[in-house]
Amino acid sequence: MADAAHSHTHVHEPVDSHKHDHLHSSAVDCCSHHDMDVERYLGFYLIGGVLALVSWIAHLTGMTSPLVATLPAVAAAILLGFWLFKAAVTEVLSGRVSSSSLAALAILAAMAVGNYGTAAFLAFILLVADQIVRRTASGAQRAIEQLVKLTPTEARVVGEDGTERILPVAEIKVGMTVRVRPGENLPVDGRVMTGQSSVNQASLTGEAMPVEVQQGSDVYAGTSNLTGAVDIRVTAAGADTTIGKVSSLIHEAESTRTPRQLLIEQVAKFYVPVAIAVATIVFFFNARSPDPLVRDTAALKAVTVLVVTCPTALLLSSPSAMVAAFAAAARLGVMVKRTEFLESAATVDAVVMDKTGTLTTGRFEVSRLAPAEGVEGAELLKAAAAAEARSNHPLAQSILRTATQARITVDAGGEYQEIHGAGVKARTSLGSLVAGRGTWIRTELPSAADQVTAVEARIEGMSGVHVVKDGRYLGAVGLEDKVRPNAKAVVDRLRELGVRTVAIFTGDRLSVGKRVGVATGVDMVEAECLPEEKHELIKQLNADGYRVMMVGDGINDGPALAESDVGVAMGLSGSDIAANSAGVALMTDELNRLPFLMELARRTRGIVGQNIAVSVLMAIIGLALAASGAFIELGGASLGVGAAAVLHFLPDVFVIGNSFRLFRFGEDFLESETIAREQAEASAKRVRRDASVRNLAAEPA
């Protein structure tokens, strides 16, 4: 577990008080004996193993009578078999007969025919091998829990009088002010009220580069405050924090049953009765053989059949891979809400992206004031700022920043109404104001249609906020945001992955959408879309046979995100509605997480298929060897059954090892991303002058 090594240990020590108890269960439980707290009983296992070994040596050397030599084996069989008998009873009572029941039945069968040494060795090997599997799985689970353990147990709360007091995080409420000093991990999600600092958000986003935060910046629990002290107004604490949601999503991966997993479990239900039937048939035909040697080994052959056909590996095939995939995704800042969304991402062949904040940075700047005839630019900007004063839309925030820079006093009082996908209406000291899209202004003020058209021609290619004051059209504020630097590369990579259609759905004007579409190389642009129109377009793509991934950032994208096969919200910068409507949230604004998600989903699907194939193949091979008596011929009674038990656990080890390869998926991705960023920063620092010439030696004389 990750401990924060700081001098203020009372604040930094990570703990388990955030209601993440579900993470402490094994991620790959498949039968009841996995659920037992067996580590405290390892001493009993060793005693049982020693007793079985003593009995075997006594029989082998003939140092005592057969009856006396058998007594240690009887004690060992009872001592070791108890744990499996207990687990089998639990399975039978719960109605989910599985591997423990088959193992217990095999031990009972060996004891019933007097092979106590065989029963003891079988129980010992099963229990020890189970411990190996459990420890392998718990090691991977600890790696997952490191995300959650980064959150401190206590927080430094600042009272209204400025005094500090230490409170457990469980007692922190939304609205409180928490002070975080340099070198400390943040205990809560919140917004910076005072102070400036650099924050390392790698635990959430996978980004190694620290983020500069100041007043108004959002910060997140589990991230590291590096340079300055900050006071934070709490917006979420405990399990409600962003990093707390990561833990709940990983728990979801453990407990959610995908259609494939449900099919596996249905097969396993019939698998156990079939295994018992096969063992009975093997015993029946061998017991009726005229050969006395065959008759003597009939029971042992039936026991080996029960051992090798335990469906443990088959039941582990999907859950183990899903847990590993969720952890790999979380390391790169990709939060997948349910396993079904990860499975759907593997088959996506159409990707639809919103423009603002998704393909573009979402950081708009006012590029042009286009006042109507007889209107001053200052009057237009002042009215636009007053109308948008209470809006959280990126365009509104940009207008307000520009008004502040122009030293315009903004009146935020009065009535306010936001019409989704259209604009806002407000009543302020300036009068009745309407601000929004040009098409909406035309319906609100038809007499100004010609003026709107003339102004739109002056802000061609820009996003426009048109303003009406007391029934008089004032003009439009033209804003632009930049296309993300890697947007075209991401679109190209999506095509390489087999995506047939890449589209932009935007509420902005066609000229703006087309500009971004040409720059990024998408196939189609649907502009001036209302929220319900985006929703209908996604439904149409689904009806046309596409498997659609919708990537959005704003409130208007919520319905479309919910309708798509895989909805992806740009997490940290996106709205809560978008994040809740989507099946996947990107904790970073890097678009290259989209192809990563698809590649991870496809790799996961492939590994689950490999796990199932190997599990079934090994069961068939084991069944053939057991039914033919090959195990008994190989090593006699005890060693033969022991070899069958080892063969039973080989596919378990393969499945877990194969699944946990996914933990490392994306490491190369992060490394190349870091190198590219360092190269870009180095290039940006290079001195560039207009009055210079390079490569003169290469030019002809």
Report, as residue numbers or ranges, the catalytic residues. Answer: 354
Task: Answer for the pair 166, 156: CB distance below 8 angstroms, yes or no.
Answer: yes
Residue 554, classified by CB atoms within 10 Å of its CB into exposed (0-12), middle (13-18) or buried (19+), is buried
Are 670 and 332 within 8 A, CB to CB? yes
Q: Which residues contact 125 (CB under 8 A, 6 or more apart)?
A: 642, 645, 646, 649
What are the distances in angstroms from CA 7 to CA 181, 183, 221, 230?
A: 12, 9, 19, 18
Tell me if 383 sits within 8 A of 368, measured CB to CB.
Answer: no
Please give the angle made by the CA atoms of 642, 139 and 220, to the nearest 5 degrees: 160
**Helices and strands of the chain, counted as H and E runs:** 24, 22
Contact of 558 with 522, CB cutoff 8 Å: no
What is the DSSP annotation of 381-442? HHHHHHHTTT--SHHHHHHHHHHHHTTPPP---SEEEEETTTEEEEEETTEEEEEE-HHHHH
Q: Are 351 and 568 in contact (CB under 8 A)?
A: no
The CA distance from 199 to 183, in Å, is 10
* 3-class secondary structure, 635: helix
Tell me the CB-side half-sphere exposure of residue 561, using CA atoms within 13 A.
Answer: 26
What's 221-289 look like in SS3?
Answer: CCCEECCCCEEEEEEECHHHCHHHHHHHHHHHHHHCCCHHHHHHHHHHHHHHHHHHHHHHHHHHHHHCC
Q: Give the sheet arrangement for strand 230-236, strand by strand.
A: 164-168, 154-158, 177-180, 230-236, 189-194, 218-219
Cβ(611)–Cβ(313) below 8 Å: yes
Query: Which among 207, 224, 226, 220 is positioned nearest to 246, based on CA atoms?
Result: 220
- Report the candidate in 435, 398, 401, 397 with the shortest Cα–Cα distance to residue 418: 435
User: Strands, E, within 591-681: which ranges?
Assistant: none
Q: What residue has token string 């240690």?
A: 72
Residue 155: its H or E element: strand 154-158
Question: What span, in angstroms and rounded, lies between the C-alpha atoms of 342 and 331?
Answer: 15
Residue recorded with tokens 């340099």: 182
What are the backbone dihedrals phi and psi of residue 530, each rounded to the nearest 5 degrees, phi first? Answer: -80, 160
